[in-house]
């Protein structure tokens, strides 16, 4: 699946996606519009459950030292955000699409604290 509507070169999102804005079988509310590039494989998945079900390896957290890496994809506009920017915002800085505030509860799956 490719994310977003107007991306010059769409980013491929793996996993159990259900629409073009990166929602998946596990998280599909109106606010579930991000995908995360996993540190272990460099592939984008909508969530940790998609990675666990579809990848052939265990997930790894992004080290704190890598917070400047682009690893978050807005499913609405296809902007790639750095980890540090994503952790500091509640909406996409490029298109203002709101992100699910509940995702903050799952940060430990993706990022070292």
Domain-by-domain residue ranges, the chain?
Answer: 34-109
What is the predicted pLDDT for the residue at 54? 98
Burial (0-12, 13-18, 19+ Cβ within 10 Å), 12: exposed
CB atoms under 10 Å from CB of 16, counted, come to 17
pTM, two decimal places:
0.91
What is the predicted pLDDT for the residue at 7? 47
- Which residue is it, tokens 């992100």? 99
28: tokens are 């599909």
What is the predicted pLDDT for the residue at 84? 98
Mean pLDDT per 10-residue interval, the chain, length 113 residues? 56 95 97 98 98 98 98 98 98 98 96 96
């Amino acid at each position: 699946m490719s994310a977003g509507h107007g991306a010059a070169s769409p980013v491929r999102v793996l996993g159990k996606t259900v629409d073009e804005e990166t929602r998946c079988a596990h998280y599909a509310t109106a606010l579930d519009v991000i995908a995360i590039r996993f540190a272990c494989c460099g592939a984008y998945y909508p969530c940790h459950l998609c990675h666990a079900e579809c990848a052939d390896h265990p997930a790894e957290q992004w080290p704190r030292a890598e917070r400047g890496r682009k690893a978050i994809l807005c499913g609405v506009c296809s902007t790639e955000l750095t980890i540090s920017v994503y952790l500091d915002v509640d909406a996409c800085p490029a298109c203002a699409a709101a992100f699910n505030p509940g995702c903050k509860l799952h940060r430990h799956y993706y990022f070292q604290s």
